[in-house]
Structure 1
Amino acid sequence: MSSEEPLGRLQAKVERAKDMSDEEKLYRYKGVLYPTIMCPEDNLKAVENMKAREDDIMVVAYPKCGFNWIMGVLRKITEEATGVKSEKKLAPLIEFLGPEGLKEVDETPSPRLMGAHLHPDNIPASFYEKKTKMLVVFRNPKDTLVSFYHFCNNNPVLPAAQSWDSFFSSFMSGDVAWGSYFDHALAWEKRMDDPNVMAVMYEEMKQDLPESIRKVSSFFGFTLTEAQVQQIADASTFKAMKENSPSSHGQRIGNVIFRKGEVGDWKNHFTPEQSREMDEAFNKHLAGTKVGAKLNYQVHCQ
């Protein structure tokens, strides 16, 4: 299969979504909303039986927490460490693949790089049984909400937000694609002491990308020279990845995925009342947790 095919399939789905009404673009599966075009029910049922491998490289993130960024970084780490250049431009979200795509993944040689936006309880059981290492990416909830808002307005496969205020309410109640940010974070909280799970923060990557590259490489058992670390960091700044996105994701999809990549953009969108509401939600759900401490909420959201 050529490296162009997955990207072509993705672009075809985006085109198909343009003919759908906003109401048709999301549906509920086991109580959670999913994009109809990208994650039909058959895909979600098929992924439950996916066979993981011990040496798989798995990345999990709630939408708009830096998934595509860390995927780009991990691809470079893997290629530098193994000396094997990846043919595929896109590492798949497993819930996008469906039965045929999963069959292709099953035939892919190790190490396989893949990811998911799924709630940890919906990650296929085989990943936990095989003790597959999983990198979990978190981002502060205020910037996540802002990025998700713009993503919905620019992405044809998702319903456009009626307004900032209505999207804010939907996000806070978990009525957005892939469900509640807080449910997702709290479910990972239970796994923070698992030696096969490592959490990386979007804000940490922005502050010191080389150090994040060192930690991630070490977690997956890869050894890099300092020159390789710096080379990967230079090629993985948000600016560099945005400029390369027409090649990596296609022009239209790249523009949708890579917008600003800033920390603190929430201050340009939130009203004081909305900021207080998010602070209260954070205190209720995540204050005193390991995930909450890692998010460094007081620094990034106040």
Structure 2
Amino acid sequence: MAKQQNKLVDEIEKVLEKSKGFSLKDLLFFYQGTPYPVSVCSAETFQALENLEARRDDMVLVSYPKCGANWLIQLLNDLIFTTSQTKHINTELPFIECGDPEKYQRMKQFPSPRILATHLHYDNLPKSIFKNKAKILVLFRNPKDTAASFFHFYNKALDVPSYNSWDEFFSEFMSGKVSWGSYFDHAVAWNKHIEDENIMIITYEDLKENLASGVKQIAEFFGFSPTAEQIQFIADRGSFEAMREKSQEIYGSVGPILFRKGAVGDWKNLFTEAQSQEMDAKFKESLGGTKLEAYLKYDVHCKA
């Protein structure tokens, strides 16, 4: 088991090594109009991904980058283990669009239920996910904390090209010129399907506020029936603080950066008043009056 876990760490270290020497401009390539990092994605992998054969009991986890997906992956793993005593060790890069084109053949050998994590838009998911009616959990985080966390990731990961300043990053984030493209395009795409069968929305902020309640909702959505004691056990093991302590063991040197701070409202340490107002206007233009706006509690979490 430790050997398998080390394989994932090795894969992540290879990605960091591959990022060395790239400029920010050269780090990204475009596929069907969206920018992706060349260190983990390729056109060949995207083409192979189209043929991924999803299973009905796959647990699909969607999020924009830096919204807490790695945290939720560990919670889902604990949920599977606690309720079935089946320990899944993922030796592939955590997101289905990341890695080599042959990974989908290897994934056929993974036992069910598989966790299929992704940062992709609704329209870019493999069609078999919808055809086979796999359940999709969509994780959102307020855009200001997402942007702040994204910036810190770039500037703290040693081998990843960094931005000269927060102002530079903010401009690129607002124009969708960062890895996986625009937060707002991603949110608008998923908001259109917020009430679709087999889709559930959950927010980072709600998980931080009451993790046990979030675990219970997620378990019910995916058809698990944990006891109250099991739910509390998963929540205790899966607190952000507990996950941060285990992060280096699971993800190697990038672990403490993936699980850096986890605070709600950390954006206030970076945003100027003008930037805050600019994002308020963009959010209102993109998502004002939508059900996703209500889920995100924008006025609670994104107003100083």
- TM-score normalised by L of structure 2: 0.95
Structure 2 unmatched runs, 5+? none
- Name 1:241's counterpart in structure 2: 243
Of 110, 119, 122, which aligns to 2:121? 119
- Give the whole-Å Cα distance in 2 for the aligned partners of 1:2 and 1:258: 21
Look up the equivalent residue of 2:75 and give its one-letter code: V
Equivalent-residue separation in structure 2 for 1:5 and 1:268 (angstroms):
37
Question: 1:112/1:265 Cα in 2 relative to 1: closer, same or farther (>3 Å)?
Answer: same
Contact 2:22–2:161 under 8 Å retained in 1: no
Q: Within 5 Å, which residues of 2 pair with 1:130-141?
A: 130-141=132-143
In the alignment, structure 1 residue 265 sits paired with structure 2 residue 266: yes
Shift in alpha-carbon separation, 1:75–1:198, aligned structure 2, 3 A: same
Aligned residues of 1:89 and 1:248 also touching (Cα < 8 A): no
Q: Which amino acid aligns with 1:231?
A: F
Cα distance in 1 for partners of 2:262, 2:4 equals 30
Can you list the C-alpha shifts for 1:47-77, whole angstroms capped at 9, x where unaligned?
1111111000110100011101111111101
User: What is aligned with 2:10?
Assistant: 8
Instruction: Kindly state the Cα deviation for residue 229 of structure 1 after the two structures are TM-superposed.
Output: 0.6
**Contact 2:63–2:139, Cα closer than 8 Å, also in 1:** yes
Residue equivalent to 2:298: 297
Report 1:87-106 matches (<5 A): 87-88=89-90, 92-106=94-108
Whether 1:154 aligns to 2:156 is yes
Deviation (angstroms), 1:162:
2.2
Amino acid at match of 1:192: I
Question: Aligned partners of 1:109, 1:69: CA distance in 2, in Å?
Answer: 21
Distance 1:247 1:143 in 2: 26
Q: Which residue of 2 aligns with 1:255?
A: 256
Post-superposition offset of 1:158: 4.4
Q: Which moved more, 1:171-180 or 1:78-87?
A: 78-87
Within a 5 Å distance, the mapping from 1:1-302 to structure 2 comes to 2-88=4-90, 92-155=94-157, 158-250=160-252, 252-302=253-303
AA aligned to 2:217 is: K
CA distance in 2, matches of 1:106, 1:7: 21
Q: Distance in 2 between matches of 1:151 and 1:224?
A: 34
Range 167-176 or range 97-106, more displaced: 97-106
SS of 2:101's partner is helix
Deviates more, 1:12-21 or 1:209-218: 12-21
Q: Secondary structure at the match of 1:135?
A: strand
Task: Check conservation: 2:11, 2:92, Cα contact below 8 A.
Answer: no
Any conservation in 1 of the 2:5–2:250 contact (CA below 8 Å)? no
**1:114 is aligned with what amino acid?**
L
Q: Unaligned stretches of 5+ in structure 1?
A: none
SS at match of 1:85: coil
Count of matched residue pairs:
301
**C-alpha contact 1:139 1:295 (8 A) present in aligned 2:** yes
Matching residue's letter, 2:34? V
Task: Quote the sequence identity (%).
Answer: 44
Q: For 1:99, what is the secondary structure of its paired residue?
A: coil
Tell me how far apart the structure 2 counterparts of residues 16 and 270 of structure 1 sit (CA, whole Å): 31
Give, in angstroms, the shift of residue 148 of structure 1. Answer: 0.5
User: SS of 1:114's equivalent?
Assistant: strand
CA RMSD of aligned residues (A): 1.5
